[in-house]
Structures are given as C-alpha cells and as structure tokens.
Structure 1
C-alpha cells in the first residue's frame, strides 16, 4: 500500500501554535465509521455520544521537561539535549545538537553544574547515551532546569507548562503529550461518570517517533518505533467487565489505542495486566480487537497516526473527513481540534 495514499494538502495557518484559553473549547468532528457520515460539534458535546456502561480509556502518562541546554565542560560550547528513554539507573538515550561535538567521554554541565552528563556511548539510532550526575532526585533537578519538548511544528513559546499536560497526567516518562487527552477537563470527566460511563487508565510513554513521517514508499516497509506501556489489574478487570456486559471501549488517542490493541491481540481479545514495549503498527486491513471507537486529534500527512485512524474508519472515509477539516478550517495537531470515530 502506497504511503502517498495518506497525503493531503494542509495550509500552514491551520497548524495550531497555542492552546485555546479553555481546554474544552475546541471543535469536535464526529466520523461515523460504518457510513462515513460527518457531524460538526463542540468538544463539550462528546458526552452525548457515550452510553451508560461504556468505558473511556485515558493515557495517564506525564511529559518530562526533557529539553536541556548546557555547555561542554572543556570548551564552553553550547549543547542542546533531548531525553528520549531511560536505559538504566542514570543512563539515558538522548538526541544531542550538535551531535558531532559530543563524543564518548565528553562532559556536559547544566545549570551552573548542579547537573552533569558524561557521554558513555552511542545508541543504535545515532543518539548519545548520557550518564547523569547530580545531588537529590533526578526528576526534581530536571523540573528546575528542563523545558517542555514541544513538537517541531510548534514555533510559539508555551506560557503555561501544564497546558501540554492532561489534567489526569500521573506517570512521568513521555517525551511528548498524548494530545487527544488535552481536551478533557475534570468537569467533562465528572459528567461522563454521572452518565454511567466508566473511566479506565493505561500508561504509554510517548516517544518522538510519534512525530516522524513515514519515509518508506510503501506502508509495509515502515519500521515502527517502540514505546513502553503498562496496564494495571484494575484497568484490565474493568475493561473485561465492560466488554462482557456489552459496553463499548472508547480509547482517547492513538497511544491508548496501541496499548489496548497490543494486549488484546496477544490474548484473544481479552485484557490482561502487563507492561512492556510495543511497536505495533496499525494500518488499513488491521482487525481491531481492543477498542470500539476512539477520540483523536488531526494528524500529520503520511504519518503512522493517520494510517491507524484510517484502519478504524477506512481510508476513504478518513481522507474525506480530512478534506472537510481543511475546508472548515479545523485546527490541526497537538493543540488542535478533535475527532471522535464511533
């Protein structure tokens, strides 16, 4: 299947650069996956599409302030790093700019020396493995020195860090936000509960691979990035109970979807408590086993994310929806509007 089939023209002015003043003020496009029918709503009306007994599944990962600015200890040259993945104890896989200045043994200092990093090797993808040295708790030091790693298509500064976190974020570890969850407020979650909708939480730590366009000519040639996930006994039991009673599982975001499909695919449609790494690649032709619908944002052309969405509602219906989104001037990507596929 040609990757070009998932391309579309996106005017640059539709890429949302800042979040709206209110999280739930975004628009909502509803795509009915069996018919292709589209409805244009406000996000607050998402409650109307849930039934008592359904389950909404949210990714409770929390974004690290993973971008650090330091200098080489020997020369004073400026170095920017981005934390990607913890390998062991205080060793992290990172992206470094400029990478050519950082070789094995290079020492980088941050914040007048309260944090130091020594390059101890190179990762398989060309990043640098850095061993950090500090006093106290690493995440507290990181919180005082780091900046939020906003996606490359966002050029504006973010005034409030919490606007790149969901209101239910708990488990720190992501290099990017699960952005479909950014629309939810405590009030909307409370209204869903009052309607009889169950709320379940999973954790998938989002990596930067989520922003990477598919560079292969065919979908089948794409090498999918791996991300860490975790599902608790409580969530697995809840999901199995909802399914047994005929309720629908509605995931929030491609991250929740990939987690649930990874587990359900391995367990004959059942949910189990487990953790691990998933590189599941979902594209048209895939048979869903873990979800019945999903809430998602509008994605990059030719990305693995638009392919996943097209697997749930068919490529024809999704590309038609994206044409309508451009025409109706929906806001795209991380701080943009939402789509509900049911």
Structure 2
C-alpha cells in the first residue's frame, strides 16, 4: 500500500490556529460505517450517539514543557532540545537542533540551574542526554521549558491549559492526545450520568505518534516505541463492557493504540505496563475497539492510516473531502469525528 494512497488536498486556511472558545462547541462529523453515512453535528451532541453500558476510554497523559532552549557550553551556540521520553535515571531520548553540533560529550546549558551532556545517539537520529541539576527536575523543567505546540500552529497560545485535556494527570507526553481536548468536565459528568462508563489508560505521546512517514511503501515504516500502562480498574471496566454487550469507544488514536496493543485475541484486556510500536493500517483486524472519537489528521500520516483501517480508506477520504467543502477546522485545535 502506497503512501500516496493517504494523501488529500487541504487548504492551509482550514488548519486551526487557536482552540474553539468553548471546548465542546467544536463541530462533530459523525460517520456510520455500516450505512456509509455522514452527519454534521457539534461536539456536545456526542451524547446522542452514546448508550448506557458503553465505555469511553481516555488517554490521561499530561503534556510536559518538553522544549528547552539552551547554549553549547564551549561555543555559546544556540541549541533546542526536545524531550521525547525518559529512558532511565536522568537520561532522556531527545531531538536536538542543530543535531550535527550535538556530539557525544558535548555539554548544553539552560541557564544556571540545568545542563545536559550528550551521552548517545538513537536509531532515529535523536540524542540521549543526561541532565545535571540540583533540586527537583520536574520543577526546574516547569520553569525553563516551553509547551511544545505542533509546527503548523503559528499563533501563541493564550492559555497553555487549552493544550491539555481536562482529565490529564500522568506527566510524560511531548504532545497532547488532541481528540480529548473537546471534553469539558460538565460533559463528562453528563455522559457518566447516562450510564456510560469512563475508563482511563495512559500512553505518553512521543515520536511514534507524530513522526512522518518517509517511505513509499507504508509497510516499510517503523514506528518509534512509546510507553503505556493500563491499571486493573480500567481493564475490569473494559472487560465487563465487552462481556455485557456494550461498546468500547476509544477517544483518540493513542487510546486506540494502547487498547489494541494490550488486547488479547479474544478481545479481553489485562493490566499492563509496556512499550508499544504498533502500526495500524488497512488490513488490520481490531480486537477491542468498537467506535472512535478522533480529530482530523495530517495527509500521509500514520494517524489517517489508522482511521482508514477502522472505517475504510475510501470512506475516510471521502469524509475528509466533505470536511474540506464544509470548512471544518483541521488538526490539533480543530473539529472532531465520531466513527461508529
């Protein structure tokens, strides 16, 4: 299957630069896979499509201020260090710009209270760095780091909390699980009052989620691994939902990848903590996910491939064409889809 099979034309003016004023007032395109129908709603209408006994599964990861701007200790040259994931101790996988200037042994300083040494290379062109500091790393990072917005967002975010879900609680992501940005605390309470279960899993979003595909044959693409975990409480809720005939509805592609990574062939799930490099594209047989809440994704991305695996490539691309015609807002701060 070719990379060009997942391309579509998107006018730049439809790329959302700021979030919707009210989280749940974004638009919602509803896709019915069986009827091949498309409906146009608002996100607060999602309740119409949920049933008592369903379970919504959310990724409760929290975005860290993962972008650090520093200088090389020897030359004073400016360096950007983008944190991807902690490996062990104070060592992190990172992307460094300019990478050619970041060789093993180089020291990068971020003011007086934080520095790092380049201690290794990664197989994706990144660097392993070891941080040196006095105090609590998370507090220092909160002071010195910046919230990393995607490169297609050019406007400064007035409220940095708008790039966090209202249920974010597990620090560790380099990017937000953006399908969840549409939920308000009030909407979650209303959904819960309907008899719909809420389950929370964690996948720390890293390079695997947003790394571009650079091969013509998509089957040659290798996903970067990301850490996830599922607690017993969430596993029990999900298993009971399947047992009782309810639907497991994944909120976002990271929740989908978490569930499908952990699911057994019989559609059950167990408490798990592991890394996943799962790459879902058309031909994949879903084990556990019955419906999806998702945003609109970049052309030729692994995310549009995942959605195409669930709903069919031609149906998904036709829906994207309609979204362009109807002037939906795209990507992280854009509108949403419900696929049932």
Q: What interval of TM-score do these two structures reach, taking the shorter chain for normalisation? A: over 0.9
> Runs of 5+ in structure 1 lacking a partner?
none
- Other structure's SS at 1:35 match: coil
For 1:218 and 1:95, the matched residues in 2 are separated by 25
Does 2:317 correspond to 1:332?
no
Matches within 5 A, 1:1-342: 1-110=1-110, 112-264=111-263, 266-342=264-340
| Equivalent residues of 1:34, 1:313 under 8 A apart | no
For 2:207 and 2:21, the matched residues in 1 are separated by 26
| Equivalent residues of 1:269, 1:290 under 8 A apart | yes
TM-score by length of 2: 0.98
For 1:124 and 1:218, the matched residues in 2 are separated by 20
**Deviates further, 71-80 or 327-336:** 71-80
For 1:87 and 1:267, the matched residues in 2 are separated by 30
- Other structure's SS at 2:246 match: coil
- Other structure's SS at 2:129 match: strand
| Equivalent residues of 1:59, 1:256 under 8 A apart | yes
- Other structure's SS at 1:124 match: coil
For 1:262 and 1:49, the matched residues in 2 are separated by 26
For 2:86 and 2:167, the matched residues in 1 are separated by 23
Count of residue correspondences: 340
**Deviates further, 179-188 or 99-108:** 99-108
Cα drift, residue 267 of structure 1: 4.7
For 1:219 and 1:91, the matched residues in 2 are separated by 32
- Other structure's SS at 2:116 match: strand
**1:109-144 CA distance string (max 9 Å, x none):** 11x311111111222222121111112211111011
**1:200-241 CA distance string (max 9 Å, x none):** 000001113322332221222221222111000010011111
**1:168-196 CA distance string (max 9 Å, x none):** 00100111100000000001100001100
| Equivalent residues of 1:53, 1:242 under 8 A apart | yes
- Other structure's SS at 2:83 match: strand
For 1:225 and 1:268, the matched residues in 2 are separated by 27
Cα drift, residue 156 of structure 1: 1.4
For 1:239 and 1:17, the matched residues in 2 are separated by 35
| Equivalent residues of 2:208, 2:277 under 8 A apart | no
| Equivalent residues of 2:262, 2:270 under 8 A apart | yes
